[in-house]
């Protein structure tokens, strides 16, 4: 079967919309312009019904109650709301525990808080790209000077795909009565994330990482008495419990809901299919090339993720040689930042090794033919570069 090129292998940067999701987006955009906050007429009621239906679909994906879902413009906003909105409720700077594996939308707000006097602890991952719960426990027990506001740990790392032990960390946080947040943008819809079982108080989700439209996402906020300490970042309307004022993006939210429904429906099957494709890809490279290494633990890992290091190759030279493949050297959101990836460095790689690494992200529409074609092209390009 002929392979359609270019082959898209960058599903951690974003995913194409599922055709069923696109259909919902277009239908709602066309037929329902009402404002869900207009409670006096049927246009508003129809829009509100669509939003509440989507809220239910998102909630189902993370094992939450409908009213625990706050719609945002994406996971970046959800992450900023958690950290900056959480910090704003505290009268004085205290302590936040996070990790060296975080996405820039956690890492940068944390740096801002640090500049404002907060004690920010970034737990170092092990050489496999996994956070050890004991390290978090030690930090929670560490000094009693500073009250800990929250623990924030990425669920699935966006470069190396490693899945963090959220259930164990959740238990520690619950025992200590500390808030537990996870940036689950790469995990929700791809692997099971259950807010209840993992003791998660706050979860960030993104639509465009799960075959939904861009510019939509959600924050799950566990309902408690009294409510969790969280202040809005924006003001000017009571929407979303006052936590995220502004007129809702009804078409985007509806389509996001559909994306969540599809992700949940297909998830277990898709995990098996992608894992098999990923293993096939990796075995081909390993069989035919010397000096190839997997960055990060083989398991537990996102089923569609490979992050591979080729000895003696610079990825900046390799990528243009395989322009028929859409690959990346790391996080799309920090592609403007020079220097090696901090995540790869935290695996103990030196900057040369980090520079010889490539991220491969397989997705819902990746076929076995795509994988075979991509492996063959990559192997050819690496062999050729090594001869030069
Ligand atoms: C993509 C991503 C984000 C940002 O999500 P947006 O919806 O694009 O703002 C945050 N965290 C992780 C881990 C991501 O992969």
**Does residue 280 share a domain with residue 256?**
no
Question: Does residue 217 have its Cβ closer than 6 Å to ligand 1?
Answer: yes
Q: Is the CB of 183 under 6 A from ligand 1?
A: yes
Asked whether residue 325 is domain-assigned, the answer is yes
Query: Within this chain, do residues 179 and 67 fall inside the same structural domain, yes or no?
Result: yes
Residue 62 lies in a domain: yes
Q: Does 94 lie in the same domain as 55?
A: yes
Residue ending a domain, among 236, 262, 288, is 262
Contact 159 CB / ligand 1 (< 6 Å): no
> Looking at the structure, do residues 253 and 152 belong to the same domain, yes or no?
yes
Final residue in a domain of this structure, among 208, 242, 262: 262
Q: Which residue from 13, 186, 342 has its CB within 8 A of the most atoms of ligand 1, so it is best to mutate?
A: 186
User: Is residue 229 domain-shared with residue 103, that is, in the same domain?
Assistant: yes
What is the pLDDT at residue 142?
80
Active site residues: 333
Establish whether residue 249 lines the binding site of ligand 1, counting it when its CB lies within 6 angstroms of any ligand atom. Answer: no
Question: In ligand 1, which atom is closest to the CA atom of 207?
Answer: 7
Does the CB atom of residue 36 touch ligand 1 within 6 A? no
Ligand 1 atom with least separation from CA of 14: 1
CATH number at residue 365: 3.90.1150.10
- pLDDT, residue 338, reads 64
Residue 147 is predicted with a pLDDT of 87
Mean pLDDT by groups of 10 residues along the chain of 388 residues: 91 98 98 97 98 98 98 98 97 94 97 97 97 96 79 98 98 95 98 98 98 98 95 93 96 98 98 98 97 98 98 95 92 64 93 95 98 98 95
Torsion of CA 221, 158, 258, 17, to 10 degrees: 150
Are 271 and 173 within one domain? no
Residue 250 confidence (pLDDT): 98
Shared domain for 253 and 287, answered yes or no, is no
For residues 226 and 375, membership in a common domain is answered with no
Distance, CA 82 to ligand 1 centroid (Å)? 14
Look at residue 212 in the predicted model and tell me its pLDDT.
Answer: 98
In this structure, is residue 2 part of a structural domain?
no
Query: Residues 32, 12: one domain?
Result: no
112 is in which domain, residue-wise?
19-262
Number of domains in the chain: 2
**Gap from CA of 209 to ligand 1 centroid (Å):** 8
Residues 348 and 293 in one domain: yes
Question: Do 157 and 287 sit in the same domain of this protein?
Answer: no
Distance of CA 252 to the CA centre of its chain: 18
CATH code where residue 200 lies? 3.40.640.10
**pLDDT for position 144:** 65
Where is the domain boundary, 228, 243, 262?
Answer: 262
* d(CA 185, ligand 1 centre) in Å: 5
Give yes or no for residue 154 CB within 6 A of ligand 1.
yes
Cα(75) to centroid(ligand 1), Å? 5
pLDDT of residue 312: 94
Q: Would the pTM count as exceeding 0.95?
A: yes
């Amino acid at each position: 079967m002929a392979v359609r090129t270019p082959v898209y292998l960058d599903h951690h940067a974003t995913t194409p919309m599922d055709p069923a999701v696109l259909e919902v987006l277009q239908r709602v955009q066309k037929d329902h312009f009402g404002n869900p906050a207009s409670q006096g007429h049927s246009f508003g009621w129809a829009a509100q019904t669509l939003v509440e239906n989507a809220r239910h679909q998102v909630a189902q994906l993370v094992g939450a109650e409908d009213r625990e879902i706050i719609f945002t413009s994406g996971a970046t906003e959800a992450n900023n709301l958690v950290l900056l909105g959480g910090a704003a409720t505290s009268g004085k700077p205290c302590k936040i525990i996070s990790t060296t594996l975080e996405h820039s939308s956690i890492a940068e707000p944390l740096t801002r808080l640090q500049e404002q006097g907060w004690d920010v602890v970034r737990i170092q991952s092990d050489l496999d790209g996994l956070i050890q719960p004991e390290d978090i426990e030690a930090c929670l027990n560490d000094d009693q000077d500073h009250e800990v506001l929250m623990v924030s740990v990425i669920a699935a790392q966006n470069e190396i795909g490693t899945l963090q032990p959220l259930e164990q960390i959740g238990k520690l946080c619950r025992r200590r009565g500390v808030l537990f947040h996870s940036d689950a943008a790469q995990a929700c819809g791809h692997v099971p994330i259950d807010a209840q079982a993992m003791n998660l108080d706050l979860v960030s989700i993104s639509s465009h990482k799960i075959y939904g439209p861009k510019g939509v996402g959600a924050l799950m906020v566990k309902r408690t008495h009294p409510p969790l300490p969280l202040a809005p970042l924006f003001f000017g309307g009571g929407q979303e419990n006052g936590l995220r004022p502004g007129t809702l993006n009804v078409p985007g939210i509806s389509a996001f809901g559909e994306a969540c429904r599809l992700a949940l429906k297909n998830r277990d099957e898709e995990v098996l299919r992608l894992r098999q494709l990923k293993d096939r890809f990796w075995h081909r490279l390993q069989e035919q090339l010397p000096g190839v290494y997997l960055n990060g633990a083989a398991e537990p890992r996102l089923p569609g993720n490979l992050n591979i290091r080729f000895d003696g190759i610079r990825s900046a030279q390799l990528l243009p040689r395989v322009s028929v493949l859409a690959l990346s050297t790391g996080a799309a959101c920090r592609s403007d930042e020079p220097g090696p990836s901090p995540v790869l460095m935290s695996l103990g790689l030196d900057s040369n090794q980090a520079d010889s690494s490539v991220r491969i992200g397989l997705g819902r529409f990746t076929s076995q033919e795509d994988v075979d074609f991509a492996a063959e092209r990559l192997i050819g390009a690496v062999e050729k570069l090594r001869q030069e």
